[in-house]
Amino acid sequence: MTEAETLRALAALAQASRLQIFRQLVVMGAEGMTPGRLSDALAMAPNALSFHLRELSAAGLISQQRDGRFLIYRAAFDTMNALLSYLSLNCCEWKPHDVSQPVPPRRDLMPQKVMNVLFICTHNSARSILAEALLNQLGGGRFRAYSAGSSPSGQVNPRAVALLEKNHFRVGELRSKDWAEFAAPGAPLMDFVLTVCDKAAGEVCPVWPGQPMSVHWGVPDPAAVTGPDAHIDAAFTDAFMVLQRRMSLFLNLPIEKLARLSLLSELQAIGQVTHA
């Protein structure tokens, strides 16, 4: 990477919205995101998003590819690696490497802990299912999400599945299950337990192994909405967008640096976000 290319990349990233877009695309990896999903996830107006995407593209930091009628944007990891290589050259006994190859891991650094998150709802068919799928895909490997219910319906709501598939989220592992699975011996130790419906929040939960942090993230139940299909679909979309916005805020928390009470306060504040 030349000095001019480095300056252009740094200038593009030296703006809060563009840095936020680039970080979101880095999290999504090879899957990338459509402009619509980026706009929803970052609560950014489409016209502003288009301007920032053009700036990042001009700097070579992101790429775009057409997939049918959709445009998919992805972080340009080769450019990112080249930028890191340029900035690190001759520093701390670092030696340049072929930027087409991954940077070898530092032996003196511990791998980042993967945090487990359990989303709870009474029937585990819609809201908690949406939350599980969102965090697993947006979490970039930092989180492993699960969901369960106090009285599971035994099946995932078809509208939730259709909405996730429409937005290119994985649905193959989703199932409606009892929260007792996660209180049993040998169950994954949870770091966070988040209730997404008021009824589940008011019930007596099992004793979760590992003493996870518990917070209520209530979302109106789209499955309870009646009327025309368009009205019901809109309710599911609203729930999806609110949860997506909360996931974006959650993923940007400096979790490892926050004291427990401060983290609890931040999580409670995120649970009050009601618009995407």
Structure tokens at 269: 């504040």
- CATH fold for domain 3-88: Arc Repressor Mutant, subunit A (1.10.10)
Q: Where are the domains positioned within the chain? A: 3-88, 115-270
Helix then strand then coil, % of the chain, to nearest 5: 45, 15, 40
Strand, helix or coil at 145?
strand
CA separation (Å) from 66 to 22, 73, 101, 164?
Answer: 19, 9, 26, 20
Per-residue pLDDT of the chain (276 residues; tens, 9 = 90+): 788 888 899 999 998 889 989 988 887 888 888 998 888 888 888 888 999 999 999 999 999 999 888 899 999 988 887 887 777 664 544 444 444 445 444 444 344 689 999 999 999 999 999 999 999 988 878 899 999 999 999 999 999 999 999 888 989 899 999 999 998 888 999 999 999 987 766 677 777 777 799 999 999 999 999 999 999 999 999 999 999 889 989 988 888 888 888 999 999 999 998 865
Q: Topology of domain 115-270, per CATH?
A: Rossmann fold (3.40.50)
Looking at the whole model, is its pTM more than 0.75? Answer: no
What SS3 class is residue 60? coil
